[in-house]
Structure 1
Amino acid sequence: MFKEAGKILKSIGPGMIITASFIGPGTVTTMTQGGAGFGYSLLWAVAFSIIATIVLQEMIIRLSLVTREGLGEAIQDLFKNKIGKLIIVWFTLIAVTIGCAAYISGDLIGTSLGASYLLNLPEHWVAPVIGVIILFIGLFGNYRFLEKIMLVLMVIMGIIFITTMIVIQPDTSGVLKGAFIPTIPDGSIITIIALIGTTVVPYNFFIHSTAVHERFGNIKELKYARWDTVISITIGGIISAAILIAAATLIEGKEVTSVIQLAGPLEPVLGDAAPVAISIGLFAAGLSSAIASPTGAAATISSLLGWQGGMESKKYKTVFTIIIIIGIITSALGFEPLQVLLVAQALNGIILPIVAILIFIIINKKNLMGHYVNTLWLNIIGSIVVLVVTFLGVYSLIDAIMSFMS
């Protein structure tokens, strides 16, 4: 029993990279706004987003270990028509790359918020320095190094945000009600979409596919890859929920401009350490997301174009470098053009349901997956997840178009 538990713990890695990727400044801010605006009532949306992520990412690891291909290669193999294949491959590639390039500046600025608060320096000074550090990580690191960094950042976030939730002693009955009884308070639909949308991220499918190849040898290790996914993403869900619960307990009804606001109500408990603790947590969340953006672009392009060599190939590192340099320059200039972000949001709104549907189709191909195709229950759960993700994507697309026109 203990030997088996040890093997499971040693398998933790790729799933933690995915978890560290989706818990970034956007997630921290969205969870804070959700708790402050609607109390505990939207915890069910966090729970659903974690279930959806586990379901989709489990399909990815099964696909990767059975076929020994990345998601991009599997998508290419799905299309026999060359024109259809060309359209899907290049649209996915362009959409994910533009999204990563558009959001990297915000990721670096979000990372710098925690550091600049502690160092008392402007964000646009700190952000480029963090970008340069990430660039060196990408150029000189490898998969194992990336895995260790993400694990450390997850531990830091877990300690800070989960400890905060425990220390403030939230209303247990309110938490349970919010988690298990879905409600949609007036004005909450956009927040619900944001809560789910910050967790189910298209490029994480490609990162996970690449990471599984780096970490696990063959289909015999599927059990451990599944444990890695379930444990890692569940921990991420607990951290996300802890942030929402803390905000709901401490600052419900107040307008949120920064997650640092959580520090004020914590001072009677943690004293002068309150803002330091929150700032460190925000820095860890930002750094993990800022590393994930160029990693996501590189993994997606490598997989869709069939580049060999994984995370250590020159082509992979070239894409990583280009994306992070874009972030360094734009964060230094404080440049975050609304039009580009709206385009990225619109493309993400299209690509998320497309990729989710393609994954669902591929994982049900008997001639490809053999007896590792989805079971009936996985198809039922997967169908619900795909339908909700499609709704989110369409809503996000419409919202982006309306914002662009206004």
Structure 2
Amino acid sequence: MFKKIGPGALVAAAFIGPGTITACTLAGVGFGYALLWAVLLSVLATMFLQEMAARLGIVTQMGLADTLNNQLPSKAIRYLVITIVLGAILVGNAAYEAGNIGGAALGLEAVFGENHTMYHPYVVGFLSFILLWWGSYKFLEKVFMALIALMSISFLCTAILTGPDLIALLKGIFVPTMPSESLLTVMALIGTTIVPYNLFLHASLVNEKWKSKNDLKAARTDTVVSIALGGLVSMAIVVAAAAIPSEEVTNAMHLTMALEPLYGEVARYFMGIGLFAAGITSSITAPLAAAYVANSCFGWKAKLHDWRFRLVWMAILSLGVFFLSFGIKPIEVIKFAQIANGILLPAIAFLLVWMVNKKQLMGAHSNNRLQNLVAIIIVALTVLLGAKSIIKVLELA
């Protein structure tokens, strides 16, 4: 089974980042186990969309942006879509990279204490650079599988230490409820799991591992197992956070500190290690995804060690370290990225469903009626998410 795990592990690592950890922490602190169903819903929706992206990538042996370029009929529409894709993913990933590196740095602080915290972002940036510069796809795949295993064990152990009420936990997962003022938290849980750049990343990565339509079953197994594991990690964070008094916790770092007096020093270390693994995986996948998107959009056909590919991920990584090191919050850039992502997610979800229904493109591997029914529901959900993201940014403007 482990030989079949690959691109899905990178996708799972990409969505379990500091943003997801913070959303899950706030969900657990504010609503206990009541919103676990939202995590389950978002994981199932992510599985479905990522499976379509992987299937498209294997059948066409092209990236998502390449396929869009070939399939969109109008040159004006092609340029519009590619511009939005580049703007949302390249600029967005650069803006959010500081948060990814910061999450890993907080994990180091939780494990090693507050000594030399000013150097932690540089340590994370250097590790990310080394892995991306010298790593082949197979090497990165193994690194991510190891980091996901570390992250999963850390967060699951943390959740177990809190001694959860299993009946209440199962009820939270399988009986949807909407406590007062929980709507924004539900949207945050879904929005941090269904990530538009992961669709581009997945469609490109499957070409690195699989070259035949006979591998579709292996790709599906990889997607389901990896994303299910990511969902389990998210649920474990919600469970751990639910055990902490609400006034003590407002973010992921507070959660690591709040666990120590209640459950002993080991809980803080587990949480810190998990936070470090989550941060560093996201700090690698965000630049990697940006490079793959640029590669597809510009038609470079470049490999991991091509100078153009490296130039893109180095720019994203450097900007993340720069913003974090000097305490710069590029608010306007982040607002632009949120608006662009708000447009991109439903647009790409719709175009993805459209492409996997094209018989001349997908042949016997196009969607069936049940898949299309589920796809319509998910596209409607992405429209709601996108609208909420845009409205939130405009309200803050």
Q: Tell me whether the two structures share a fold, i.e. TM-score over 0.5.
A: yes
Within-5 A mapping of 1:45-124? 45-117=38-110, 118-121=112-115, 123-124=117-118
Task: Confirm or deny: 8 A CA contact 2:21 2:252 kept in the other structure.
Answer: no
The answer to whether the aligner puts 1:242 opposite 2:236 as a matched pair is yes
1:225 shift after superposition: 0.7
Contact 1:19 1:232 in 2 (8 A): yes
Mind listing any 5+ residue stretches in structure 2 that lack a counterpart? none
- Greater alpha carbon shift after TM alignment, 224-233 vs 322-331: 322-331
Task: Spell out the pairing of 1:168-179 with structure 2 (5 A cutoff).
Answer: 168-179=162-173
In the other structure, the counterpart of 2:208 is 214
Task: Report the Cα offset of residue 255 of structure 1.
Answer: 4.0
- Aligned twin of 1:34: 27
Q: 1:290 pairs with 283, 296, 304, which one?
A: 283
The letter for the 2-side match of 1:331 is L
For 1:124 and 1:218, how far apart are their aligned partners in 2?
Answer: 48
2: CA distance, partners of 1:112 / 1:144? 26
| CA-to-aligned-CA distance 1:1-32 (integer Å, 9 cap, x gap) | xxxxxxx3211011000001110111111101
Which residue of 309, 316, 320 corresponds with 2:313?
320
Aligned-residue CA RMSD (Å): 1.6
Q: Distance in 1 between matches of 2:247 and 2:176?
A: 20
User: Counterpart in 2 of 1:5?
Assistant: none
What amino acid does structure 2 have at the position aligned with 1:85?
R
Percent identity of the aligned residues?
A: 38
Equivalent AA in structure 2 for residue 44 of structure 1: W
Structure 2 partner of 1:224: 218
Report if aligned partners of 2:249, 2:255 keep a CA contact under 8 Å in 1: no
Q: Is the 8 A contact 2:97 2:317 kept in 1?
A: yes
Contact 2:151 2:233 in 1 (8 A): yes
1:307 to 294, 300, 310: 300
SS at match of 1:334: coil
Alignment-derived partner of residue 162 in structure 1: 156
Structure 1 segment 126-165 matched on structure 2, within 5 A? 126-165=120-159
| Counterpart residue identity of residue 298, structure 1 | A
Map 1:247-396 → 2, pairs under 5 A: 247-252=241-246, 254-265=248-259, 267=261, 269=263, 271-396=264-389
CA contact (8 A) 1:65 1:212 kept: yes
1:260 deviation in Å? 4.2
Q: Name the aligned partner's letter for residue 60 of structure 1.
A: A
Give, in angstroms, the shift of residue 258 of structure 1: 3.5
The equivalent position to 1:13 in structure 2, one of 2, 6, 10, is 6
**Shift of residue 152, structure 1, vs aligned partner:** 1.2
Indicate conservation of the 8 Å contact 2:345/2:386, yes or no.
Answer: yes
Contact 2:161–2:267 (Cα < 8 Å) also in 1: no
Between the aligned partners of 2:363 and 2:252, the Cα distance in structure 1 is: 49
Q: CA deviation at 1:299?
A: 1.1
Contact 1:62 1:222 in 2 (8 A): yes
Q: Work out the CA distance in 2 between the residues paired with 1:353 and 1:123.
A: 39
Q: Distance in 2 between matches of 1:88 and 1:147?
A: 30
Tell me how far 1:65 sits from its aligned partner: 1.1
SS, match of residue 310 in structure 1: coil
Question: 186-195 vs 160-169, which deviates more?
Answer: 160-169
Partner of 1:3: none
Once the two structures are overlaid, the 10-residue window that deviates more, 344-353 or 310-319, is: 310-319
Measure the CA separation in 1 of the matches of 2:208 and 2:153: 28
Q: Deviations over 1:358-398 (max 9, x none)?
A: 10110111111111111111111111111101110111111
Distance 1:25 1:257 in 2: 10
C-alpha distance in 1, partners of 2:251/2:18?
13
Contact 1:250 1:262 in 2 (8 A): no
Q: Say whether residues 1:43 and 2:36 are aligned partners.
A: yes
Q: Which amino acid aligns with 1:140?
A: W
How many angstroms apart in 1 are the aligned matches of 2:390 and 2:224? 30
Deviation at 1:79, TM superposition (A): 1.3
**Scaled by the length of structure 2, what TM-score is found?**
0.96
Q: CA deviation at 1:267?
A: 4.7
Distance in 1, Cα, partners of 2:117 & 2:71: 45
- After superposition, what is the alpha-carbon deviation per residue over 1:321-369, rounded to whole angstroms, capped at 9, x for unaligned? 1111111211111112222222211111111111111101101111111
In the alignment, is residue 180 of structure 1 matched against residue 174 of structure 2? Answer: yes
- What whole-Å deviation, never above 9, does each CA across 1:230-271 have from its counterpart, x for those lacking one? 0000000001001001111333565424444345445554x3
8 Å Cα contact 1:32/1:244 also seen in 2: yes
What's the TM-score, normalizing by structure 1? 0.94
1:192 aligns with 2:186: yes
Gaps of 5+ in 1: 1-7
The residue matched to 1:116 in structure 2 has which SS?
Answer: helix
The answer to whether the 8 A contact 2:4-2:222 is kept is yes
